[in-house]
């Protein structure tokens, strides 16, 4: 029988205004990064994890200011805790899915088989079971569009619509700091572009856009952060993998 976790979240302070929050007892290669940015007038939360424990309670001391909660996309490991918060926003293409908790669009139906009991080193509470896990609806979720700005007073983040992994995948870009929160658009691991709602052509276009953005630090939806050089390496590797192979006649042409 699995042990019950005495705490579900861990927090790592990255800088004066940035924290990475994660769920340490969920399998490392699937657990999402939850990013908290503190600002002068408001704070920003990027993604909310699985929703199996109260993230809102864990963040109690950060709720004295208004809190913008942004879902980078609707998949269960990123949007599971959104229902707890008042000011929640997601791209328009996935707003209905978050409002209604579409288990299919959240990748929780049996065809995906992405969540298993063995994925939990410890349990969030005594009677937790994957079989009974669902993401709760978030009917208060507002919509985001490309170009919208999330203003914290002393810093601002532009919404970048970067579809491909999912229809409503977004990044949040702070041009002044050269900082990008990339969700699942790009991270330092195997990128998923063959899900039911993934569109590889859109993914290629989104990756090409990333090469044009002056980024110094990338804070991804999974794994470790990285710099511009690593971003370009990851993007170019992805684009190279999607190039159409030459036909025999083209391949035979001399240089």
CA distances in angstroms from 185 to 87, 180, 191, 208, 238, listed in the order given: 23, 11, 8, 12, 11
SS3 186: coil
pLDDT tens digits for range 206-244: 999 999 999 999 999 999 999 999 999 999 999 999 986
Measured distance CA(207)–CA(28) in Å, rounded = 25
The CATH label, of 3.20.20.300, 3.40.50.2300, 3.40.50.300, 3.60.15.10, for the domain at 10-243 is: 3.60.15.10
- Indicate whether 251 pLDDT > 50: no
Q: What angle do CA 106, 112, 115 make, to 5 degrees?
A: 75
Boundaries of every domain in the chain? 10-243
Q: Which residues contact 135 (CB under 8 A, 6 or more apart)?
A: 51, 76, 79, 80, 83, 101, 103, 106, 108
What secondary structure letter does DSSP report for 23? -
Q: Give the residue from 225, 65, 67, 68 showing the smallest Cα distance to 149.
A: 68
Predicted local distance difference test score (pLDDT) of residue 1: 57
């109260």: which residue's tokens?
54
pTM: 0.94
Within 10 Å of residue 164's Cβ, how many Cβ atoms? 24
């Amino acid at each position: 029988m699995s042990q019950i976790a005495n705490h579900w979240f861990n927090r790592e302070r990255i800088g004066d205004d940035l924290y990475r929050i994660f769920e340490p007892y969920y399998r490392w290669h699937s657990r999402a990064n939850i990013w908290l940015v503190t600002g002068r007038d408001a704070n920003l939360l990027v993604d909310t994890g699985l929703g199996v424990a109260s993230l809102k309670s864990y963040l109690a001391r950060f709720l004295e200011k208004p809190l913008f909660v942004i879902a980078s996309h609707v998949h269960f490991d990123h949007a599971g805790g959104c229902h707890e918060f008042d000011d929640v926003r997601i791209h328009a293409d996935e707003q209905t899915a978050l409002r209604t908790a579409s288990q299919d669009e959240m990748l929780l139906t049996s065809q995906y088989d992405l969540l298993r009991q063995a994925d939990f080193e410890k349990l969030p509470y005594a009677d937790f079971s994957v079989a009974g896990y669902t993401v709760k609806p978030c009917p208060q979720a507002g919509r985001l569009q490309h170009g919208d700005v999330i203003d914290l007073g002393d810093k601002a983040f532009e919404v970048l619509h970067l579809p491909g992994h999912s229809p409503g995948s977004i990044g949040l870009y702070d041009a002044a700091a050269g900082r990008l929160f990339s969700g699942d658009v790009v991270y330092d691991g195997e990128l998923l572009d063959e899900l039911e709602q993934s569109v590889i052509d859109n993914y290629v276009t989104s990756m090409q856009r990333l090469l044009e953005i002056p980024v110094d630090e990338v804070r991804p939806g999974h794994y470790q952060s990285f710099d511009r050089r690593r971003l370009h390496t990851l993007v170019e590797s992805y684009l190279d993998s999607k190039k159409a192979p030459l036909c025999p006649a083209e391949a035979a042409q001399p240089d």
